[in-house]
């Protein structure tokens, strides 16, 4: 039983609601234990007994919650707090300030996640009614030890401090939870954005992403009047590879090809999967002559690439159509120029780089 409880507590460490409630019950246990010592020193034995009993009840609440009885634990803790508030103020008067503990119950009830909104509203209303009933009853019935009035006023301030400490703790916990949730949401959004912009097979930017990159580079070109070259890459005889060796080998060819191209590009260059066996390479701040040199080096290196598979031995070759962006060219016209060059390269025998 105890071993299962310890395992439960360890497993719930990251549960913020569990952490919050557990900390409050342990906090209540510590405070009531201190009060029991204080009442014992003042020789007020019935309050000593009740404070010690409250400390045990709060400790029981902690273990009940660890066993999964969160609602039962909350009810026991709430009743214990109400009784402690009433007995303290009834004994020493309203200035003693234990009614502040009752006021603390309202935000704590609202903060819990184990109750419906209707139940929370009913309980908060009961706390408010109990507070005003206590006020009327204590003002007319409570007695006060005159020789202890200064101590009582000091303790009243301490009770106020303890109550605000509880509320402050609750605010810190929940502000921390909000920040953590925001960070988690940002991380999820980043992952979703990455998934939305990444080709699932090759791990490089997909068509939508490379389309956006190219548009951005065109806008930058028009601002700075620099250079921009693109290369439209197509795997030669890819259909034959699929038909002869199967689609799994075809996929492996595309993965290896994407990795090889990506490893040979500069920091500001981008390659994305344009569709099927086609890839689009974007080379910003690169003129046509330099772009041809880069793309020719990529073609040569890929011509010597071997696929890591015993089922596929032939070398993989590619044909690249190259186009340089000029002012007044549209996005589609730029792609069309590269596509036309790619078509010419296929007609010339493949495994070559052709520029517009």
For residue range 266-305, list pLDDT tens digits in order.
888 999 999 889 999 999 989 999 999 999 999 988 877 7
For the chain, give the percent of residues with pLDDT over 90.
25
Rounded mean pLDDT, 68-79: 83
Q: Which domains does the chain have, with CATH numbers?
A: 2-190 (no CATH), 207-355 (3.30.70.270)
In whole angstroms, what is the distance from residue 349 CA to residue 319 CA? 9
Predicted confidence at residue 312, as pLDDT, reads 62
Predicted confidence at residue 297, as pLDDT, reads 92
Q: Which helix (H) or strand (E) holds 68?
A: none
Give the tokens for residue 339.
């596509």
Give the chain's mean pLDDT: 82
Looking at the DSSP bridge assignments, the partners of residue 271 are 281
3-state secondary structure 251-270: HHHHHHHHHHHHHHCCCCCE
Q: How confident is the model at residue 110 (pLDDT cuts 50, 70, 90)?
A: confident
Closest CA to 24 of 107, 148, 91: 107
Residue the block writes with tokens 């019950």: 25
132 vs 319, more confident: 319
Q: Specify the range with the lowest mean pLDDT, choosing from 47-51, 118-122, 235-239.
A: 118-122
The answer to whether residues 316 and 302 touch, using CB atoms and an 8 Å cutoff, is yes
194 vs 57, more confident: 57
Residue the block writes with tokens 């080998």: 249
Which of the following is catalytic: 277, 293, 296, 340? Answer: 277
338 vs 137, more confident: 338
pLDDT over 80 (residue 80): yes
**Beta-carbon contacts of residue 94 (< 8 Å; ≥ 6 apart):** 135, 138, 139, 142
pTM above 0.75, yes or no: no
Nearest 10 degrees: CA dihedral of 47, 48, 51, 54? -100
Predicted confidence at residue 123, as pLDDT, reads 80
Predicted confidence at residue 65, as pLDDT, reads 80
Q: Specify the range with the lowest mean pLDDT, choosing from 142-146, 258-262, 312-316, 340-344.
A: 142-146
Q: Is 277 a catalytic residue?
A: yes
Q: Which helix (H) or strand (E) holds 97?
A: none
What Cα–Cα distance (Å) separates residue 1 from each residue in 21, 45, 46, 281?
21, 35, 34, 63
């Amino acid at each position: 039983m105890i071993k299962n409880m310890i395992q439960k507590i360890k497993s719930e460490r990251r549960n913020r609601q569990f952490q919050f409630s557990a900390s409050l019950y342990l906090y209540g246990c510590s405070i009531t234990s201190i009060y029991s010592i204080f009442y014992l020193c003042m020789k007020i034995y019935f309050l000593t007994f009740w404070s010690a009993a409250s400390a045990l009840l709060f400790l029981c609440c902690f273990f009940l919650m660890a066993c999964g009885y969160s609602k039962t634990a909350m009810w026991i803790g709430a009743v214990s707090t109400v009784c402690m508030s009433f007995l303290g103020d009834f004994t020493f008067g309203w200035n003693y300030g234990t009614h502040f503990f009752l006021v603390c119950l309202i935000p704590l009830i609202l903060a819990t996640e184990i109750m419906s909104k209707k139940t929370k509203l009913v309980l908060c209303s009961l706390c408010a009614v109990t507070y005003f009933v206590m006020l009327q009853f204590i003002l007319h019935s409570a007695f006060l030890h005159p020789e202890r009035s200064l101590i009582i006023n000091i303790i009243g301030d301490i009770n106020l401090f303890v109550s605000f400490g509880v509320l402050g703790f609750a605010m810190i916990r929940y502000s921390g939870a909000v920040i953590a949730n925001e960070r988690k949401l940002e991380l999820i959004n980043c992952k979703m954005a990455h998934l939305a912009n990444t080709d699932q097979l090759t791990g490089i930017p997909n068509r939508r992403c490379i389309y956006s990159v190219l548009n951005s580079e065109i806008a930058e070109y028009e601002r700075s009047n620099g250079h921009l070259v693109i290369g439209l890459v197509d795997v030669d005889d890819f259909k034959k590879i699929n038909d002869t060796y199967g689609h799994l080998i075809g996929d492996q060819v595309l993965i290896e090809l994407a990795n090889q191209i990506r490893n040979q590009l500069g920091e500001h260059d981008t390659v994305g999967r344009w569709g099927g066996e086609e890839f689009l390479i974007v080379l910003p701040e690169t003129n046509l002559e330099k772009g041809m040199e880069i793309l020719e080096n990529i073609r040569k290196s890929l011509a010597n690439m071997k696929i890591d598979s015993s089922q596929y031995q032939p070398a993989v070759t590619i044909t690249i159509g190259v186009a340089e962006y000029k002012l007044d060219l549209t996005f589609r016209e730029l792609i069309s120029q590269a596509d036309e060059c790619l078509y010419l390269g296929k007609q010339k025998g493949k495994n070559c780089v052709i520029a517009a």
